Structure 1
């Protein structure tokens, strides 16, 4: 049954919120001030018709918007969007008790700057496939031909990849294709069931040559403990952190845009200042370690052996940087303890979405005077922040960094001093 409702605000996940019979209803692709008809089921609504458009509405920039679940917020004007994104962190902090936090202006990555993505593909029979992204809240795939957020080099490969894999997927067979734009070419990773045939291996090697790819790897999803198998490497893909090259392995985590990465690095460098010994917790392949090593001795701790090895090898080849040491360690199970942390003047921590509750407890017990915290989750960030503030740390300005355009994700960086 359709209900006529007015949208009041946009929630933390990007849906418009309306009140119906005292209940909050979540309706995607709506804007505060919209008067609409919505089909309501439980707490979810589906936009059926707009009676009156909000003044905050904007024209979406992609023809897939509304079907493809990658973007939820292209229909909102730029000022409202920025305020909403900054509001995500402001609200999360206020819920934990930090009502007067200093929120710096958001740093938004430009269009066409996203340098990594994963496409999904499914066979439809007779050599046809659907290749693209899932619909919002569904496993249903939407065939995509464009994406204004992605780097143009990645968009240019959509057509050729479709052509390449359309003949190899049987009906209902699935595959994912991850692309990362390195500074010397594209790194392409395919995930599928079983071992690629000799023909497919030859086709992929030819594809790498024709499209000047840096590397192609394969991941067999049938194996319990799978790993990437190198099928073609024409050049070792690398990225640079503060002018230092890091060659990264297949499947590495990199910040989604160069601009986002640089904004986080600059905030981190300001934060550690002249610290001579720095520990980098959840270091990955060295986004912050390598940048910090221009002026500080750095100890990088990470649980992914391949990424840590890449960091180590890259650091060993660099000239003009300080000493970089590495440690393979699961910081969820074995956080660094106070006596280990006390060797350092400053710490950098960039945990996964779940945050790093146990490691924070040990930092609080240590003598560390300065902590740079990077987070991709305003809720766990705010929780960890409150425990730091309660322990006597002072929070500097919180800088939101938006490298996931039109999605409810947000990177945050802030500096804490005891």
Structure 2
């Protein structure tokens, strides 16, 4: 059996394990070592990165145990994580469990993420207040909200102190410096990346909020009717040439077959269809012209764009900034907005907006290349469709994303055949 097939089977087995009763024993053992008794637990989001492993987040209810075990901290833990991902230096706050015929599982109690050393700092009002706001602010006035968390990869915390707000980006060790340089590079070129609030600390970067209205909000209100699609192209073409000196990262489309296995894990009944679509997308991507190598954002979608008077006033999440192809940035945007109606009924104006953006972007890149890569992006989003414990909502959402990917592929094939 090929190594890729072994990895796929292992990751699917991990997903099944995380959905079973097995996590209870792993959580109980890990918490006991930290001085807590596990009273109850509940599965939460599952993060599947094909080729890199699977991580489950669990809500937990605990109480202090006796004096035995490592002394608990002052705060009561509410979450824990279990992962199949390899952790190079887990440290003494991570418990490891071997599995017969498979790789080990690692467990930690939030916020002690072994790959995000600054997460405890970012979630501690006493320590984070002087870092984020300065020493003139009282720690007891700071309210922290974990806005997003991708285990072992990154987190974003919103810190509020009175009328002041900061966004704290929590990164892997030794990666804050390069992100700071990207922000400075863009600001110097007039690109509206958020203003930094100071130097990083423990790989946590504090930023001032960027001005403007989230494009996602405008899409829900009116389909972003007042936004000129060419304004999005302009902010991308304004990226400075210095970006070409950064490391190049492969676009989503480059690993569409790997991401298809994440989709299969979310929709096992559609496995044959998913793999057939992924194969078609891969062929269509390879058969079209991506255009020249240019500076790119790398994660260009509505969630990373703030708008003011129809123009981009905030360009967020510039971690993936580097050399690439304009078509991949534009396809990333299209692949994301196309799945929004399946996420929430309020995005009723998005289908018309999608046509408007498509027509505009077709003027800048190969239309067949654009749709084949948008299909790849939509396919990668299937695994992230929310899983709802009781209803079938998560499955319906995942299926809608598969339909979107298939439709983009159909359009790419029609355009490719017409040449």
Structure number having the greater strand percentage = 1
Q: Which has the higher contact order (CA 8 A, sep 6+)?
A: 1
TM-score for both structures, normalised by structure 1: 0.31
TM-score for both structures, normalised by structure 2: 0.31
